[in-house]
Chains A and B, each alone.
Chain A
Amino acid sequence: MNRMNTTRFLTATAAALLLCTQAQAGPPDPGDPGPLTVSRDEYNLGDTVFHPVGFPGPGVELNANVYYPADLSQGPYPLIIYLHGRHATCYLGGSAILAWPCTGGFQSIPSYLGYEYMQEVLASWGYIVVSIGANGINAQDNNVFDLGAQARAELIQKHLDLWNDWNSPGGAPPFDTLFSGHVDLQNVGTMGHSRGGEGVAKHYLYNQGLGSPYGIVAVLPLAPVDFNRPDVTNVPLEVILPYCDGDVSDLQGVHLVDDVRYTPGDLTPKHTTLVMGANHNHFNTIWTPGGWPAGTADDWLAFVGGGSSDAWCGTVPGNHRLTPAEQRGTGKAYMNGFFRRYIGGEDFSGLWKGDVPPPPSAMTTEIYQSYLPPDSPGTRLDVNRLLSAADLSVNFQGGAVTEDGLNPYDLCGGELPQPQHCLSGQSTARQPHTTPSARSSRRGLSQNRFGWDDPSAFLENDLPGVDVSGLGVLQFRAAVNYTDGRNAGDQDFTVTLTDGSGSSSSTTISANSGSLYFPPGQIPSGRPVPKIFLNTVRLPLSSFPMVDLTNIQSIRFDFNAQPSGALLMSDIQFAD
């Protein structure tokens, strides 16, 4: 049983300067370091000491890298678990292999050390942040049907059991009483990368199935797989997706949000964060070229045929790739910020709804944040869920749906008899919302597919005089159909609200949102980009000043900003 300890000091002066700068420059930046001095520790209880039920192989390691406030007396502090994804496990010189435990001179590749850049910052805000090792699962998970999801869930739960012991009055080795009484196990957040992303989803359900001994209050899958389609409900959920992912390049993790967005009575928010220049691996420093002697890759360049020549994700002049440091900036901002928002209760001025630009720490502005509100009258009023053919003529509020000049005008991607995919002749990697899952036959996101050839075309949802005065925006999710030649570039249209007295007020998409961009990437190639990804478009109700928000009678989309076009749309709603 091993333990290593170091203490790192974010100096009080630096922290004070930082807080001062924040106060002068605007809203707090979730990626900035906090005021607390942090310590670092590792524990390693052995390479093969844990045995997930029915999982093959000699056993799984119980080790982790821990960052925590050096002064634990101000706790108890929330616990955050990070779980890395699938990667080579052992190395010798420049060679990597997939085996466990490492023998014959091979040493372990410490994927669990790859998130220190986030751990240290989050700990400085008063969190105990634990990044656990899962090489023993990676070495065997393709040999079990669920591809390791349950084993990962059990591994997380085992670590929480250990922390429960360390939190007890008597403590336990190797920490003895260091953490006794200082860990808040009813405020636990989980972040999993890639297969670890499905792992944290599965773990949420596993812990629930055990009677919720631990309070899992925020779940964040990062570039996740979603092979088994677990439904994570009743907990704040954020899925971060890298547009230039060269591994899980179909961005199948978007299903984690799409599948649960209309769970009745779910009072928690769901988010997606699309990072336009990010790849899969650079969120983990150990997986990043130069970060470890073996097993590293820039996944877009290494695994995508012709990827280097792509205008957006490739290396040609003018590309939009993020450097590893920039990509980790988005990690610090949006992952740490998510836990600070939903565990720490910090607001961040609408960042999680996409109402403000990415903070400076994100190091890019090319991020699209989507928000699906809780199922509560104070946060959401559904106008049209666009789930079945009936929704094309009667909406969720019982109002008529009318259109003119739209062709096609149908639904795709959802349950039968809808076609499985919305774009014919395009790879599923370009259609994340409907991409299939390895261990589930579940369908994807139902989308309204339509286009127009004339700027007189419109789509209108009548409403029975709804009161939305307690809500803040009209929103929907949409994407520009890049396969339809009627789109010459970014899209735009006019939205008009009309009230019971006949008063109307209008705004345009472009005045409020950049989400209707033409998906970037080189269309003729067989690459995973461009992609159809439905981002949330939010129109503040303050943009409709001339209408009575207590009595809205219709929402009309006039497709008059461009001569022609084609969109995919879902989830029309009023929201907070």
Chain B
Amino acid sequence: MLRIVSGIALAAFAVIGLPQAAQAQAANGRITQVKAVSPNTVDVEVTSEREFPVLDSVVTLHIGDKSYTVSHSPESGSLNTLIFSVPASDLTAGANSGAEAWIDYSGQGNGLRWNLGKLSASTIGKK
């Protein structure tokens, strides 16, 4: 079973106070929690100092060449955190292969992006 992890050391890119146009550039985020919600599915919690805006286009977690679009906000409603539903096997495979992970708004071509870095056993709480 996966266990909860936190504190992955990826620096976040603060944009508070920058002009609006600058906010569209890539930022960093980090996986702060992985939680099994069923035998086959995990919730992957991602946090960033730059808010994930509430858009009509679909916020998407990418792990390598796979993407995941079912998500929800934490109970607090904070826009700094998103929780994605991901098949456990995909997450493990991504960690084993060192797949790149990132978040964007699917298909929009607008440049919004949060880099999560390469997955590993430690980033998903398996080590």
Q: How many A-B residue pairs have CB under 8 A?
A: 131
The distance in angstroms between the C-alpha atoms of A436 and B83, with both chains bound, is 24
B57: contacting residue among A225, A295, A526, CB under 8 A: A225
**Given A427-B109, A430-B109, A302 contacting B53 (CB threshold 8 A):** yes
B70: contacting residue among A89, A142, A249, CB under 8 A: A142
Beta-carbon contact of A139 and B23 below 8 Å:
no
Chain A residues with CB below 8 A from B23, complex form: 302-303
Beta-carbon contact of B77 and A99 below 8 Å:
yes
Q: Which residue on A lies nearest to B52, using beta carbons?
A: A98
A88 contacts B by Cβ under 8 Å: yes
B97 contacts A by Cβ under 8 Å: no
Chain A residues with CB below 8 A from B111, complex form: 303-306, 526-527
The distance in angstroms between the C-alpha atoms of A473 and B101, with both chains bound, is 53
Beta-carbon contact of B56 and A303 below 8 Å:
no
The distance in angstroms between the C-alpha atoms of A338 and B14, with both chains bound, is 45
A499 contacts B by Cβ under 8 Å: no
B54: contacting residue among A56, A295, A304, CB under 8 A: A295
Beta-carbon contact of A99 and B24 below 8 Å:
no
Chain A residues with CB below 8 A from B112, complex form: 303, 305
Q: Contact residue range for chain B?
A: 20 to 34
B72 contacts A by Cβ under 8 Å: yes
Q: Which residue on A lies nearest to B25, using beta carbons?
A: A305
B95 to nearest A CB, angstroms?
Answer: 24
The distance in angstroms between the C-alpha atoms of A248 and B77, with both chains bound, is 23
Chain A residues with CB below 8 A from B20, complex form: 297-298, 301-302, 308
Q: Mark A287-318, 1 if CB is under 8 A from B, else 0.
A: 00000000101110111111111000000000
**Given A306-B24, A438-B69, A429 contacting B77 (CB threshold 8 A):** no
Beta-carbon contact of B79 and A98 below 8 Å:
yes
Chain B residues with CB below 8 A from A301, complex form: 20-21
Chain A residues with CB below 8 A from B106, complex form: 438
B71 contacts A by Cβ under 8 Å: yes
Q: Contact residue range for chain A?
A: 35 or more
B76: contacting residue among A99, A143, A145, A252, CB under 8 A: A99
B58: contacting residue among A89, A147, A249, A308, CB under 8 A: A147
Chain B residues with CB below 8 A from A85, complex form: 56
B115 to nearest A CB, angstroms?
Answer: 14
The distance in angstroms between the C-alpha atoms of A144 and B54, with both chains bound, is 16
Beta-carbon contact of A527 and B56 below 8 Å:
no
The distance in angstroms between the C-alpha atoms of A37 and B69, with both chains bound, is 47
The distance in angstroms between the C-alpha atoms of A223 and B55, with both chains bound, is 12
A32 contacts B by Cβ under 8 Å: no
Beta-carbon contact of B57 and A97 below 8 Å:
no
The distance in angstroms between the C-alpha atoms of A305 and B108, with both chains bound, is 11
Chain A residues with CB below 8 A from B24, complex form: 302-307
Residues facing B in A246-275 (CB within 8 A) are: 246-250, 252
Chain B residues with CB below 8 A from A88, complex form: 54, 79
Beta-carbon contact of B70 and A145 below 8 Å:
yes
A194: contacting residue among B25, B56, B70, B105, CB under 8 A: B56
B78 contacts A by Cβ under 8 Å: yes
A190 contacts B by Cβ under 8 Å: no
Residues facing A in B69-87 (CB within 8 A) are: 69-73, 75-79, 85
Chain A residues with CB below 8 A from B76, complex form: 97, 99
The distance in angstroms between the C-alpha atoms of A237 and B52, with both chains bound, is 33
A536 contacts B by Cβ under 8 Å: no
Chain A residues with CB below 8 A from B53, complex form: 297, 302-303
B110 contacts A by Cβ under 8 Å: yes
Beta-carbon contact of B72 and A142 below 8 Å:
yes
A96: contacting residue among B55, B69, B79, CB under 8 A: B79
Beta-carbon contact of A90 and B58 below 8 Å:
no
The distance in angstroms between the C-alpha atoms of A140 and B25, with both chains bound, is 27
A556 contacts B by Cβ under 8 Å: no
User: Can you list 19 A-B contacts with CB-CB less than 8 angstroms, sorted by A residue number?
Assistant: A96-B79, A97-B76, A98-B77, A99-B77, A227-B58, A246-B110, A247-B105, A248-B108, A298-B20, A301-B20, A302-B20, A303-B110, A304-B24, A304-B111, A309-B21, A427-B109, A428-B107, A436-B107, A528-B108
